């Protein structure tokens, strides 16, 4: 009997647990991704701020699945899907499927502003984290010899969600603890870290308690927090705000929203303006009986979440595991009762720098040093390999004791025509 073909597009927080939960050797699994590694997104900001090494949060797919002979891996971009013929079209050819699972995640949302997209930096991959690290460190180097210093002194982060808050706190600590040692000829007190947020508070998706203390921590670190303002434009030199204020800067990091990475061929009426695909409680895309979407790209309405689930790792992992178990049930017995997905909110958290974090749990909220240790412990446990857990722990311990990591490498092609 031929094994059912399952094609999985994307190996992030949804794709990886989906494959791992499928019954081993029961299917012919094809994993398609545009990069050859799983990326631990919550710690991208630490790579960008030179706190940990890129390799510690990036896990080669072939290493992860080297003991799974039922999993084939192909590096490619998916161009479209043909749900009538059960085919997926990619940059390296066409593949047939019995089940298709779209776990493509999300990308940065620039809200159709091409100029901002061309001139700002994003933080949605390990490579982009390294690009930010290179750009910021190079700006510090240029401060030693360029005459126009104002635009180099300013670092602007757009978006006051967890990514923006954590990145702002990390750069503020770099300004305080690293710059005076590495660049004694730079006036570190002139370096400004701006955090711009369109809503009235940072961490708008968390509790008022978390919002209050995240802002308090940021201000204590010297971050210039501006809420209730939107970025109208950025031309590579000047940020223009909705209140007509301008900030001169060559360093803008955009984390103001995300958009689902949908695939051509999905009926347009099932795709929201946010790029998310409408699915039912089984993560099945409506109208397509054997095509599923999980994680950030999926939009599922429930009684508890009538406007869809938050785009969090816990949601992606939960949906992926539930779908894999349901497919296992179907293949064992087609008449099996399938389980609808229900999100259990385990809480949210964000760190704002050394000894500063906020944690929202369903039953309690807390902040400060203990919250910071809880944040570190839980993220460390989510790292895939024992080796990487150990390396990150050593880095964190060293940084905590010395306030001085040794990872500030500018890794760029010195002969590149596009050298910054």
Please, where are the H alpha helices in 122-236?
126-142, 150-153, 162-177, 179-182, 208-220
Once rounded to an integer, what is the mean pLDDT over residues 139-168?
95
Please check whether the two domains, 4-34+76-108+258-332 and 114-256, share a CATH topology. Answer: yes
User: What is the arithmetic mean of pLDDT over 334-348?
Assistant: 93
Mean pLDDT throughout 238-256?
97
**How many Å separate Cα 95 from the centre of its chain?**
28
- Residue range 33-64, pLDDT digits in tens: 999 999 999 999 999 999 999 999 999 999 99
DSSP-derived secondary structure letter, 296: G
Q: Domain map of the chain by residue range?
A: 4-34+76-108+258-332, 114-256
Contact status, residue 26 vs residue 3, Cβ threshold 8 Å: yes
pLDDT bin (cut points 50, 70, 90) of residue 405 is confident
CA pair distance 127, 402, nearest whole angstrom:
27
User: What average pLDDT is seen over the chain?
Assistant: 94
Cβ(197)–Cβ(159) below 8 Å: yes
Three-point CA angle 136, 368, 52, nearest 5°: 35
Q: What pLDDT, in 10s, does the model give residues 407-418? A: 788 887 766 544
- Under a CB-based contact definition with an 8 Å cutoff, are residues 298 and 283 in contact? yes
What is 9-23 written as a DSSP string?
E--STTHHHHHHHSP
Share above pLDDT 90 across residues of the chain, in percent, rounded to a whole number: 88
Q: Indicate if the pLDDT at residue 269 is higher than 70.
A: yes
96-105, 239-248, 390-399: lowest mean pLDDT where?
A: 390-399
Q: How many other C-beta atoms can be found within 10 angstroms of the C-beta atom of residue 32?
A: 23
Q: Which residues share a beta bridge with 285?
A: 279
Strand ranges in 10-57 using DSSP code E only, listed in sequence order:
27-33, 37-39
Q: How many of the other CB atoms lie within 10 Å of CB of 402?
A: 10
Secondary structure element (H or E) that encloses residue 366, with its range: strand 365-367
Whole-angstrom CA distances from 18 to 12, 15, 78, 286 are: 10, 5, 19, 20
Residue 42 and residue 2 in contact, taking contact as beta carbons nearer than 8 Å: no
- Tokens representing residue 358 in the block: 């906020």
Q: Could you tell me which residues are beta bridge partners of residue 253? A: 121, 157
Average pLDDT over residues 275-285: 97
Residues contacting 35, CB < 8 A, separation 6+: 75, 125
pLDDT digits (tens, 9 = 90+) for 364-388: 999 999 999 999 999 999 998 888 9
Evaluate if residue 175 carries a pLDDT over 60. Answer: yes
pLDDT of residue 403: 81
133-143 pLDDT per residue, tens: 999 999 999 99
Q: What is the pTM of this model?
A: 0.94
Give the pLDDT confidence score for residue 417 in this predicted structure: 47
Quick check: helix, strand or coil at residue 291? strand
Beta bridge mates, 357? 351
Q: CATH 3.50.50.60: does it fit domain 114-256?
A: yes
| Domain spanning 4-34+76-108+258-332: CATH superfamily | FAD/NAD(P)-binding domain (3.50.50.60)
């Amino acid at each position: 009997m031929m094994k059912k073909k399952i094609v999985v597009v994307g190996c992030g927080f949804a794709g990886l647990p989906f494959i791992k939960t499928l019954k081993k050797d029961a299917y012919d699994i094809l994993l398609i991704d545009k990069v050859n590694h799983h990326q631990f997104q919550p710690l991208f900001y630490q790579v960008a701020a030179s706190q940990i090494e890129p390799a510690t949060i990036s896990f080669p797919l072939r290493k992860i699945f080297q003991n799974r002979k039922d999993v084939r891996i192909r590096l490619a971009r998916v161009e479209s899907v043909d749900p009538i013929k059960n085919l997926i079209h990619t940059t390296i050819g066409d593949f047939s499927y019995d089940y298709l699972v779209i776990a493509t995640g999300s990308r940065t949302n620039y809200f159709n502003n091409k100029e901002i997209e061309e001139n700002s930096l994003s933080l949605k991959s390990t490579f982009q984290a390294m690009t930010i690290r290179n750009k910021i460190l190079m700006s510090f180097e240029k401060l030693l010899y360029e005459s126009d210093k104002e635009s180099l002194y300013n670092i602007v982060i757009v978006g006051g969600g967890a990514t923006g808050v954590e990145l702002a706190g990390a750069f503020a600590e770099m300004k305080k603890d690293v710059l005076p040692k590495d660049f004694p000829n730079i006036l570190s007190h002139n370096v400004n870290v701006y955090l711009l947020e369109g809503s009235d508070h940072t961490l708008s998706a968390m509790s008022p308690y978390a919002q209050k203390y995240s802002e308090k921590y940021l201000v204590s670190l010297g971050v210039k927090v501006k809420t209730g303002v939107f970025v109208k434009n950025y031309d590579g030199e000047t940020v223009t705000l909705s209140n007509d204020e301008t900030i001169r800067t060559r360093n803008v990091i955009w984390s103001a929203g995300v958009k689902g990475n949908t695939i051509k061929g999905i009926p347009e009426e099932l795709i929201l303006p946010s790029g998310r695909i409408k699915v039912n409680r089984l993560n099945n895309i409506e109208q397509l009986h054997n095509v599923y979407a999980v994680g950030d790209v999926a939009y599922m309405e429930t009684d508890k979440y009538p406007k869809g689930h938050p785009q969090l790792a816990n949601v992606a992992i939960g949906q992926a595991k539930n779908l894999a178990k349901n497919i296992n049930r179907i293949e064992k017995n087609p008449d099996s009762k399938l389980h609808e997905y229900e999100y259990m909110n385990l809480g949210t958290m964000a760190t704002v720098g050394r000894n500063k974090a906020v944690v929202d749990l369903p039953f309690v909220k807390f902040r400060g040093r203990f919250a910071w240790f809880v944040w570190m412990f839980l993220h460390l446990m989510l790292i895939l390999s024992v080796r990487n857990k150990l390396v990150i722990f050593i880095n964190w311990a060293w940084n905590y004791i010395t306030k001085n990591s040794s990872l500030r490498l500018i890794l760029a092609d010195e002969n590149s025509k596009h050298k910054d």
